């Protein structure tokens, strides 16, 4: 059955063209000779914003400048641009071509793999599931491209270009946007209350336009710092990324006597994530543009609490807000 739009020879019984997606049953349809006309509001809008007129003028000018007149002249074995644009959603192009069952299978397999990959993000299983979701999406695109391509070399070339554009145009920008609000961090070592293998989500852009507040659980980094150990000829090396709660901000007076933490003379409403490890005696005033965090991984000692607890504002990476792995501890971090 020949398509009246692109002259592609389709199999008998197909409802839509395999190349351009045009309907092959227009001959049997009743055409209304009195189509509905635009409303007065639509006509007024088009007079104020004649974007359609400009679009057709630009397209006509491009048609005169380009050596080809139609998409089929440029790439005779590729589907129409409208059908290619539908491949941005797996299975949509298949449904448009009349392959509804195949389209549903591709769409729901993609959704299942994508949601499972996001649920296990930050782990090896999550990486495999996300790769499977991208593979299903790529397979749905290649299924459309292979309909009109005959030679193996052209199929291989089109497949490589399609995969490159899929990652470059869609998945890379999406991953950058999602990473600004939900960056997974996995613990390699046990750091109470977290265990090795736990995964939490960090929002790196949480403090882009605002400052951290006491009570926020944050991820912060420590540059390499050698702290002398009292009574011992040696140093304690403090470095790396850490996660804990902000207890006080610049200008606050922090005291800890007999395990009771006070901020500005009042009992602190906040405690570290590991409240068992509190200093026996501590008195400190937080300097400007800094915060006080009692990191649970620090070695006890008054001098250690003083030097390791002061965190400059520039060293706070983002806010930690959600616990994703393991699943039985899935939920917000309090």
pLDDT of 107? 94
Report the C-alpha gap between 257 and 28 in whole angstroms: 89
Q: Is residue 311 part of a domain?
A: yes
Report the C-alpha gap between 265 and 24 in whole angstroms: 81
- Say yes or no: 225 and 255 in one domain: yes
- Say yes or no: 313 and 197 in one domain: yes
- Say yes or no: 48 and 91 in one domain: no
Q: Tens digit of pLDDT for each residue in 236-263?
A: 556 678 888 999 888 888 888 877 888 8
pLDDT of 297? 44
| 3-state SS, residue 313 | helix
Higher pLDDT: 165 or 49? It is: 165
- Say yes or no: 274 and 322 in one domain: yes
- Return the CATH number at 219: 2.10.109
pLDDT of 13? 73
Higher pLDDT: 327 or 233? It is: 327
Q: Is residue 3 part of a domain?
A: no
Q: Tens digit of pLDDT for each residue in 28-45?
A: 556 666 667 778 888 888
pLDDT of 156? 81
- Say yes or no: 96 and 210 in one domain: no
Angle CA 259–265–267, to nearest 5 = 50
Q: Are 254 and 286 spatial neighbours (Cβ–Cβ below 8 Å)?
A: yes
- Say yes or no: 300 and 286 in one domain: yes
Q: Is residue 115 part of a domain?
A: yes
- Say yes or no: 87 and 191 in one domain: no
Kindly state the tokens that stand for 122.
């930050």
111-120 — which CB contacts under 8 Å span 24+ positions? 119/324, 119/327, 120/324, 120/325
- Say yes or no: 67 and 149 in one domain: no
Q: Is residue 1 part of a domain?
A: no
Assign 24 a pLDDT band (cuts: 50, 70, 90): confident
- pTM of the predicted model as reported, rounded to 2 decimal places: 0.69
- Say yes or no: 241 and 203 in one domain: yes
Q: Is residue 13 part of a domain?
A: no
Q: Is residue 61 part of a domain?
A: yes
- Say yes or no: 89 and 166 in one domain: yes
Report the C-alpha gap between 94 and 233 in whole angstroms: 72
Residue 231 pLDDT > 70: no
Q: Tens digit of pLDDT for each residue in 119-170?
A: 998 899 999 999 999 999 999 988 888 776 667 777 788 788 888 888 898 9
| 3-state SS, residue 326 | coil
- Number of structural domains (the chain) is 3
Going by C-alpha positions, the residue among 334, 332, 330 that lies closest to residue 121 is 330
Max Cα–Cα distance, the chain, nearest Å:
99
- Say yes or no: 132 and 56 in one domain: no
Report the first-to-last Cα separation within the chain, whole angstroms: 65
**Residues spanned by the domain of 192:** 185-332
């Amino acid at each position: 059955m020949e398509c009246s739009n692109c002259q592609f020879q389709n199999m008998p019984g197909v409802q839509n063209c395999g190349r351009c997606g045009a309907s092959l049953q227009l001959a049997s349809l009743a055409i209304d000779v009195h189509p509905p006309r635009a409303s007065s509001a639509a006509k007024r809008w088009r007079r104020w914003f004649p974007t359609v007129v400009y679009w057709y003028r630009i397209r006509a000018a491009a048609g005169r400048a380009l050596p080809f007149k139609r998409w089929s002249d440029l790439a005779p074995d590729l589907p129409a641009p409208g059908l290619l644009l539908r491949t941005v959603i797996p299975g949509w192009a298949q449904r448009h071509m009349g392959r509804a069952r195949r389209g549903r299978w591709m769409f729901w397999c993609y959704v299942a793999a994508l949601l499972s990959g996001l649920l296990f993000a930050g782990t090896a299983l999550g990486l495999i599931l996300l790769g499977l979701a991208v593979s299903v999406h790529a397979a749905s695109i290649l299924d459309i491209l292979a309909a009109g391509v005959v030679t193996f070399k052209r199929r291989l070339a089109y497949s490589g270009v399609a995969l490159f554009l899929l990652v470059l145009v869609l998945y890379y920008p999406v991953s950058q946007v999602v990473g600004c609000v939900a960056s997974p961090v996995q613990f390699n070592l046990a750091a109470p209350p977290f265990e090795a293998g736990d995964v939490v989500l960090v929002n790196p852009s949480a403090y882009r336009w605002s400052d951290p507040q006491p009570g926020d659980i944050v991820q912060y980094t420590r540059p390499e710092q050698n702290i002398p150990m009292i009574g011992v000829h040696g140093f304690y090396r403090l470095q790396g990324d850490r996660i804990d709660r902000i207890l006080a901000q610049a200008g606050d007076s922090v005291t800890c006597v007999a395990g009771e933490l006070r901020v500005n003379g009042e009992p602190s409403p906040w405690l570290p994530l590991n409240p068992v490890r509190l200093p026996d005696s501590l008195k400190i005033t937080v300097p400007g543009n800094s915060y006080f965090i009692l990191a649970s991984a620090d070695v006890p000692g008054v001098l250690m609490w003083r030097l390791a607890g002061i965190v400059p504002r520039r060293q706070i990476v983002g806010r930690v807000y959600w616990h994703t792995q393991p699943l039985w501890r899935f939920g917000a971090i309090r």
